[in-house]
Amino acid sequence: MKPFRKHVALAVDGGGIKGVIASRAIAVLEEHLQIPAYEVFSLLAGTSTGAIITTGIATGLFGEEIHRLYCDLGPVIFKKTWRSTLWPLTRYRYPLEPLQEALDDQMGGKTMGEFWTSDKPIDLVITAFDLVENKTLFIKPFKESAGGDPWPVTKAVLASSSVPSYFPPVENRYVDGGVGSYHNPCYVAAYEAKFVLGWDPAETTLISLGTGREPHTLQPQQIGKYYPWHWIGPVLGAFQESSDDQQVHLVQTFFTELDFRRFQVELDGSYPMDEPERIPDLTEFGDRLGEMIVADQMDGALGIRPKKAPLPDPVY
């Protein structure tokens, strides 16, 4: 693996229970480096399940500890009940209380600002979407010291993780940060590093972790038989994947001196965000993603560059 530069940042995508993949990959990276992620990264950015992972790192948890939390809490958070069985006749499928209790156990009453004022200051950016203001929120530690309202860590992570229709909105206004353009927060991290922290991109490494890319399996004969409700999944999936790719291209285009490393693992089928029974399979994909990080096997799907069109003949 290539050495990291002076400053090192980490961005982790959303993905529900597929956070198992990223958490296990971080554990593999720690095993290789022989130091905890908390001592490697000074800037963390996360959306949804990525917010859970990056907050765990900022708190000082090891990658394997975070992975174990997914294994233990996944079946509790995504427990099938009458509510999930009757959905969409119910407003949401799962209550937030199990996740909130787990976060409270880890964080207590800690606020985001305490990450900035600790013995080892760390910048943690959590994305959430404010439905009332119709805008993405970038919840950061140092905003409190600048006079901003304090955000309890539990509230910030819950807001970022509240996927509409799966969980209720936090305070009836805050939902998953992936609702906007930041399901993949790598551009958020790159911008934060250069323009907020003042890091020189030539001295900065940014690691961006996906939570698995599902294969495209739709066939024309299927699409031709679609009724209106059939379009919801494919359209939302297209929006999310396009947004993820867009964030990567923005970093590649506007931060050319940055040591940017995007890692994504190809899945072998569909893995819904609320199926904890798939955790053993997801763990194997996490091992694979971790090995890709160590071997510098970056996401090849985004390395494709179209040939430039020939210039037209001059007109005299």
What CATH code is carried by the domain that includes residue 126? 3.40.1090.10
Q: What is the pLDDT of residue 278?
A: 96
Q: What is the pLDDT of residue 244?
A: 76
> How many angstroms separate the CA atoms of 166 and 15, rounded?
12
Walk along the chain (316 residues) and give the pLDDT tens digit of each residue. Answer: 999 999 999 999 999 999 999 999 999 999 999 999 999 999 999 999 999 999 999 999 999 999 999 999 999 999 888 887 887 878 889 999 999 999 999 888 899 999 988 888 999 999 999 999 999 999 998 765 445 678 999 999 999 999 999 999 999 999 999 888 899 999 999 999 999 999 999 999 999 999 999 887 677 777 777 777 677 677 666 666 777 788 999 999 999 999 999 999 999 998 998 999 999 999 999 999 999 999 999 987 665 444 444 556 655 5
Which of 151, 150, 180 lies closest to 163, judged by CA?
Answer: 180
**Rounded to 5 degrees, what are φ and ψ at 125?**
-110, 120
Q: What is the pLDDT of residue 118?
A: 86
Q: Does the residue 187 lie in any domain?
A: yes
Q: Does the residue 313 lie in any domain?
A: no
Do residues 30 and 65 make contact, with C-beta atoms less than 8 angstroms apart?
Answer: no
Q: Does the residue 40 lie in any domain?
A: yes
Q: Does the residue 308 lie in any domain?
A: no
Q: Does the residue 107 lie in any domain?
A: yes
Do residues 18 and 70 make contact, with C-beta atoms less than 8 angstroms apart?
Answer: no
Q: What is the pLDDT of residue 137?
A: 94
Q: What is the pLDDT of residue 306?
A: 44
Q: Which domain holds residue 215?
A: 7-302
Q: What is the pLDDT of residue 316?
A: 52
Do residues 137 and 105 make contact, with C-beta atoms less than 8 angstroms apart?
Answer: no
Q: Does the residue 275 lie in any domain?
A: yes
Amino acid at 36: P
pTM for this model (two decimals): 0.90
Q: What is the pLDDT of residue 219?
A: 75
Q: Does the residue 315 lie in any domain?
A: no
User: What is the domain count for the chain?
Assistant: 1
Do residues 168 and 56 make contact, with C-beta atoms less than 8 angstroms apart?
Answer: no
Long-range contacts of 137-141 (CB under 8 A, 24+ apart): 137/174, 137/177, 138/188, 139/112, 140/112, 140/192, 141/112, 141/113, 141/114, 141/115, 141/116, 141/117
